[in-house]
């Protein structure tokens, strides 16, 4: 056995990790640890099951397979691992001096990707810099994506075949259960788990805040750019499932045969559905969590506004120019043109005639300072991300401390590309991986300022995980919790500043009755 190998006994069997280099030193990593049985064959579209225990030391020096997913030329991703069905694995990162019983705070990461893309092995989520200081243990999680994780087939249950709803959410719950039962052996404290994620990963975070089954599995949460209102009912989910069956030339009565459909065919069909849904219904996604009345009893924002979300401290926020990324990629995922926005509002009015939609005058007042093109992007940003986050913050602040932020910083290259602080641009700052081989962020300079921004963000996130308060480095402003009396918001730019009621105009325009429109 090499001297840098690490063996840890888990509840299912022993795993051997490795030491990896970091800034002249080493950190420890265990990769590809199985937390659930392979979701294949009869377990496809079913809840995750415990893995079969093992006695021989399992190799945990390489990442497990990424969940099978389609390829989008406009959204290229380096998954860091080959794709495969046997994808329910996680990775643990810890500083080299971390030992069992250290009881360090734990941060569990959920990647984004519109619920159809991404993996825990993406180079962007390399945990070395977050754990290198020895303050936390980091866990990154794979969960099922797209049709495999978020296709609701429960309407087609028969005596021969049963399908489970929200399989991807259940995967995350299973991973959190693994963390609860095993993280102490890696030096983490199961009582101090912070669940954090971005985009779809943040959507899972805000959804689990409303799931009774998640109670006690995490003690704090961070939601970066959560599409918190992209949670649908069974009727919409059934239409998506029917569309997928149609793409596969299958009748609803043949749904039980889906477990035998080859992965490439399933991915091809789901990709067509994924691309068609936002064109037909602007502002909606094909594969998302659903209100199933079991795991998820109601819409997360509604649960928060009724003061029924889990009372854990929460950091929640968005990037200033979220929608600019989707314009750059020419993606239909967001309604970023006046025509698409008009279509979205028309459909909302038809589906929910009793809903009080904003008037043209209200919209015009809220976005009066924006040029026509920028106005559409601002509206898309607010409808898709900002207002759902504000609505959830308003409700959740009654049960636990909430820290609202807006990430405003953009490196020179992103300004030249006219994307600014677009969707996902905060990720290398949170992970400290600016300037990585495939990260072009600093190609036009700005490294010194960007690294200072990253240090502040990481310090606040780490302090929140450790102490439930997002204190910055010495000399940085205090970040007060969000309260309706002052509505504090941390603006993360070249410097951190605290502002009050920065969303006043858009909040006045959108009100609080839009929470169910998605």
Instruction: Report the SS3 class of residue 470.
Output: coil
Number of helices and strands in the chain (H, E)? 16, 13
Q: What pLDDT is stored for residue 376 in this prediction?
A: 84
Q: What pLDDT is stored for residue 360 in this prediction?
A: 65
Count of CB atoms situated within 10 Å of the CB of 63: 21
Tokens 């249950």 identify what position? 157
- Mean pLDDT of the chain, nearest integer: 92
Q: Which long-range contacts (CB under 8 A, 24 or more apart) does 442-450 make?
A: 442/411, 442/413, 443/413, 444/411, 444/412, 444/413, 444/416, 445/411, 445/412, 446/411, 446/412, 446/413, 449/409, 449/411, 449/494, 450/409, 450/411
Per-residue pLDDT reduced to its tens digit, 431-473: 999 977 677 888 888 899 999 999 999 999 999 999 999 999 9
Rounded to whole angstroms, the Cα distance separating 514 from 93 reads 40
Residue 199, phi-psi category: left (phi > 0), alpha (psi -120 to 50), beta (remainder): left
Residue 479 near residue 499, CB atoms below 8 Å: no
Structure tokens at 443: 């190609």
Q: What pLDDT is stored for residue 502 in this prediction?
A: 96
Q: Which of 269, 281, 202, 272 is nearest to 235 (CA)?
A: 281
Q: What pLDDT is stored for residue 501 in this prediction?
A: 96
- In eight-state DSSP terms, residue 120 is T
Q: Which of 433, 429, 494 is nearest to 460 (CA)?
A: 429
User: Catalytic annotation on 322?
Assistant: yes
User: Catalytic annotation on 500?
Assistant: no
Structure tokens at 109: 């990461």
Q: What pLDDT is stored for residue 512 in this prediction?
A: 64
CA distances in angstroms from 492 to 32, 320, 407, 426, 456, listed in the order given? 34, 10, 5, 10, 9
- Strands 58-59 and 14-22, bridge-based pairing: parallel
Domains and CATH numbers, the chain: 15-510 (3.40.50.1820)
Q: What pLDDT is stored for residue 348 in this prediction?
A: 67
Per-residue pLDDT reduced to its tens digit, 312-368: 999 999 999 999 998 888 787 888 777 787 777 777 666 555 556 677 677 777 787
Q: What pLDDT is stored for residue 373 in this prediction?
A: 65
Instruction: Report the SS3 class of residue 386.
Output: helix
Structure tokens at 168: 């991807």
Rounded to whole angstroms, the Cα distance separating 424 from 152 reads 27
Which helix (H) or strand (E) segment holds residue 304: the answer is helix 300-305
Measured over the CA atoms of residue 254, residue 260, residue 264 and residue 270, the dihedral's sign is positive
Rounded to whole angstroms, the Cα distance separating 139 from 265 reads 32
Rounded to whole angstroms, the Cα distance separating 326 from 485 reads 35
Residue 470 near residue 459, CB atoms below 8 Å: no
SS3 assignment for 193-205? EEEEEECHHHHHH
Residue 426 near residue 450, CB atoms below 8 Å: no
Name the pTM for this structure: 0.95
Low-confidence ranges of the chain (pLDDT < 70): 1-5, 348-357, 360, 370-373, 437, 512-518
Would you say how long the chain is, in residues? 518
Of 165, 270, 423, 488, which one is the catalytic site residue? 423
Count of CB atoms situated within 10 Å of the CB of 136: 26
Residue 107 near residue 136, CB atoms below 8 Å: yes
Q: What pLDDT is stored for residue 161 in this prediction?
A: 85
Q: What pLDDT is stored for residue 80 in this prediction?
A: 96
Residue 5 near residue 18, CB atoms below 8 Å: yes
Of 95, 121, 321, 322, which one is the catalytic site residue? 322
CA distances in angstroms from 434 to 120, 156, 341, 451, listed in the order given? 18, 47, 34, 7
Instruction: Report the SS3 class of residue 113.
Output: coil
Q: Which of 327, 304, 320 is nearest to 410 (CA)?
A: 320
User: Catalytic annotation on 56?
Assistant: no
């Amino acid at each position: 056995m090499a001297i840098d190998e690490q063996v840890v006994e888990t509840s299912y069997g022993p795993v051997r990790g490795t030491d990896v280099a970091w800034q002249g030193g080493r950190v420890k990593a265990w990769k590809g640890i199985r937390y659930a049985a392979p979701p294949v064959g009869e377990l496809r579209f079913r809840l995750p099951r415990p893995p079969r225990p093992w006695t021989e030391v399992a190799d945990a020096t390489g990442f497990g397979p990424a969940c099978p997913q389609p390829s989008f030329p406009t959204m290229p991703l380096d998954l860091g691992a080959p794709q495969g069905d046997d994808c329910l694995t996680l990775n643990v990162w810890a500083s080299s001096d971390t030992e069992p019983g250290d009881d360090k705070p734990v941060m569990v990461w959920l990647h984004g990707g519109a619920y159809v893309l991404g993996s825990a092995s993406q180079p962007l989520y390399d945990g070395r810099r977050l754990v290198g200081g020895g303050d936390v243990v980091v866990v990154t999680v794979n969960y099922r994506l797209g049709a495999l994780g978020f296709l609701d087939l429960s309407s087609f249950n028969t005596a021969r075949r049963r399908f489970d709803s929200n399989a991807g959410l259940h995967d995350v719950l299973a991973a959190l259960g693994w963390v609860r039962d095993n993280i102490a052996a890696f030096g983490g404290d199961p009582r101090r788990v912070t669940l954090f994620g971005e985009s779809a990963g943040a959507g899972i975070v805000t959804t689990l805040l409303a799931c009774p089954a998640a109670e006690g599995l995490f003690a704090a949460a961070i939601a970066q750019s959560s599409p918190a209102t992209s949670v649908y009912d069974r009727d919409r989910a059934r239409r998506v499932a029917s569309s997928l069956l149609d793409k596969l030339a299958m009748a609803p009565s043949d749904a039980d045969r889906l477990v035998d459909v080859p992965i490439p065919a399933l991915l091809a069909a789901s990709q067509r559905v994924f691309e068609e849904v936002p064109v037909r219904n602007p502002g909606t996604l094909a594969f998302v969590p659903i209100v199933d009345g079991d795991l998820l009893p109601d819409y997360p924002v509604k649960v928060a506004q009724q003061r029924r979300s889990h009372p854990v401290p929460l950091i929640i926020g968005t990037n200033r120019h979220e929608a600019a990324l989707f314009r750059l990629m020419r993606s239909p995922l967001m309604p970023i043109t006046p025509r698409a926005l008009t279509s979205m509002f028309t459909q909302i009015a038809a589906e929910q005639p009793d809903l009080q939609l904003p008037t043209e005058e209200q919209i015009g007042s809220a976005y009066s300072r924006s040029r026509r093109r920028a106005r559409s992007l601002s509206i898309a940003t607010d409808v898709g991300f900002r207002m759902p986050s504000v609505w959830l913050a308003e409700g959740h602040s009654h049960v636990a401390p909430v820290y609202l932020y807006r990430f405003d910083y953009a490196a020179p290259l992103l300004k030249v590309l006219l994307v600014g602080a677009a969707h996902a641009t905060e990720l290398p700052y949170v992970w400290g991986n600016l300037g990585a081989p495939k990260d072009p962020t600093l190609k036009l300079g700005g490294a010194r300022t960007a690294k200072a921004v990253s240090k502040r963000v990481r310090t606040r996130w780490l302090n929140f995980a450790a102490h439930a308060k997002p204190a910055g480095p010495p000399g940085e402003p205090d970040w007060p919790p969000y309260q309706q009396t002052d509505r504090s918001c941390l603006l993360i730019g070249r410097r951190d500043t605290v502002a009050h009621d920065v969303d006043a105009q858009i909040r006045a325009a959108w009100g609080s009755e839009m929470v169910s429109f998605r």
